Copies of this chain bind each other. A is one copy, B any other.
Amino acid sequence: MDKSLISAPIPTIRRLPKYIHMLKRLKIENVLYVSATTIAHELKIEPILVRKDLSITGIIGKPKVGFEVEELIASITQFLNWNNTEDAFIIGVGALGEAILGYSGFKDYGLNIIAGFDIDKKKIGKKIFGVEILPLDSLEDLIKRMHINIGVLTVPASESQEICDSMVSSGIKAIWNFSPIALQVPDEVILENVHLSQSLAVLTHKLAKKLKG
């Protein structure tokens, strides 16, 4: 049975990486077992929620001791399909694009960026963190020929819908969008947005209440 085929609530999926972060640290510290209670305490969530989240990945715990750390990492990783890294393109190698390109951590999250695309002639042809920057013209052809499923979109907001359309027409399956725009994509294309403004909204609203209230 392939774990990554099971459905889960989005909130659960979003918490799973938090568990992985903690578990990997525990592994480094040579901790063999960890209980839902311990995880919950560190991550400030309820133990019962931790157990529910973990159980969806198929792991079975041991009463009195908890879960085996390595087994749990493997279970979550399989569930997220992070054991199979997907090759991806990034479009727009500016400040943010370059930071993402240079971040080695994403390989642990199932993402392997193998090429960047830009319109800036000063960037095209160069290698950034070992990844070649290619002209935008070649994007469509390469998505098709290399069967790329994921596009990371870090172009200016004004350009993103156009690039998005171009990727979609080339058969891209999922777009990880960083531009502050509500991209229009067909139902079958997975769109995941990183809108930092959303996170900041929560922060500023809470802070305003704290300072004034």
Chain A positions within 8 Å of B, measured between CB atoms, are 2, 4-5, 7-8, 10, 13-18, 20-22, 42-44, 79-82, 84, 86, 94-96, 98-99, 102-103, 105-106, 109-111, 149-150, 173-174, 176, 180-182, 184, 188, 190, 192-213
Contacts and interface: CB of A to CB of B under 8 A. Distances in A.
A95 B105 contact: no
B202 A192 contact: yes
Given A79-B205, A105-B197, 18 more contacts: A4-B209, A4-B212, A5-B213, A8-B205, A14-B198, A14-B199, A17-B180, A17-B197, A17-B198, A17-B201, A21-B195, A80-B201, A82-B204, A86-B207, A105-B180, A174-B207, A190-B207, A192-B202
Contacts of A82: 201, 204
18 contacts: A4-B212, A10-B202, A13-B202, A14-B199, A15-B198, A17-B195, A21-B181, A22-B182, A42-B182, A84-B208, A99-B99, A106-B200, A109-B200, A110-B204, A173-B207, A174-B203, A174-B206, A174-B210
A10 B201 CA distance: 10
Contacts of A106: 196, 200
Contact of A206 (B17, B42, B190): B190
A7 B206 CA distance: 9
A176 B204 CA distance: 10
Nearest to A99: B95
* Chain A interface, DSSP helix/strand/loop, else mixed: helix
B81 A200 contact: no
A196 B194 contact: yes
A199 B79 CA distance: 15
A178 to B, nearest CB: 9
Contacts of A198: 14-15, 17-18
A80 B205 contact: yes
A93 to B, nearest CB: 11
B109 A204 contact: yes
B10 A180 contact: no
A96 B94 CA distance: 11
